[in-house]
Chain A
């Protein structure tokens, strides 16, 4: 157990639907990052939150949005889903400073049918 909890582990949904992925960071970590990993793309950075505020944005689609709540858990909302959105979605957290790397969760596997 890495300390980063992601739910659900698996999600199957139809095109056009909306889903919410949830992440609880490791205790004490203020930063949360979301990554998408598909077979042909590798790990792609989506968005970062730090203590409730958006800090950095990657190539996140307009159909996707995220937020970090006061208890530091984060949610990634994916809407108007397309077949191409099928991927593994990872959440990671990190503490202050740069001495340590990111701690990743076990991911949510999203399948859009």
Chain B
């Protein structure tokens, strides 16, 4: 069956460090993968999209890598700040334009 796995344990890091979140998937052949941020009680907010033929994509302090051989994406936040604390979701299309989301990883950036 298709699965999208993200670390369910919260990730606690110190301000200024780089946070790295992992997304692994099975039985998907996605043309692209997306990352979203979700704050409690709010809707997810789109951050980045990376295509299968792209190895890496950057946007300000964010970097995403996509390894279709390993079936894995890594999401990095450099120089992390307390305001980066949120749940981060990865999402894939299994066909058509429908996005399936992972359960997310909660990030806590401490002073």
Closest beta carbon of chain A to B91's beta carbon, Å: 8
Closest beta carbon of chain A to B3's beta carbon, Å: 12
A56 interface neighbour in B36, B44, B96, B104, Cβ under 8 Å = B96
8 contacts between A and B (CB under 8 A): A2-B45, A33-B99, A42-B103, A48-B96, A101-B34, A101-B47, A107-B41, A107-B43
Contact at B41–A88, with CB atoms within 8 Å?
Answer: yes
Contact at A92–B43, with CB atoms within 8 Å?
Answer: yes
A: interface residue count bin: 20 to 34
Contact at B43–A31, with CB atoms within 8 Å?
Answer: no
Contact at A43–B97, with CB atoms within 8 Å?
Answer: no
Query: Which B-chain residue is minimally distant from A106 (CB atoms)?
Result: B43
- Residues from 33 to 50 in B contacting A, C-beta threshold 8 Å: 34, 36, 41-47, 49
Query: Which B-chain residue is minimally distant from A40 (CB atoms)?
Result: B103
> What string of 1s and 0s marks CB contacts (under 8 Å) between A53-80 and chain B?
0011010000000000000000000000
Closest beta carbon of chain A to B5's beta carbon, Å: 12
- Give A33 to B96 CA distance when docked, in angstroms: 13
Contact at A106–B46, with CB atoms within 8 Å?
Answer: no
Q: Which residues of A contact B43 (CB under 8 A)?
A: 2, 4, 90, 92, 104-107
Q: Which residues of B contact A55 (CB under 8 A)?
A: 96-98
Q: Which residues of A contact B32 (CB under 8 A)?
A: 98
Whether A31 contacts B97 in the complex (CB less than 8 A), given A90-B43, A101-B34, comes out as yes
Query: Which A-chain residue is minimally distant from B8 (CB atoms)?
Result: A42
Contact at B89–A43, with CB atoms within 8 Å?
Answer: yes
- Give A90 to B38 CA distance when docked, in angstroms: 12
Closest beta carbon of chain B to A102's beta carbon, Å: 6
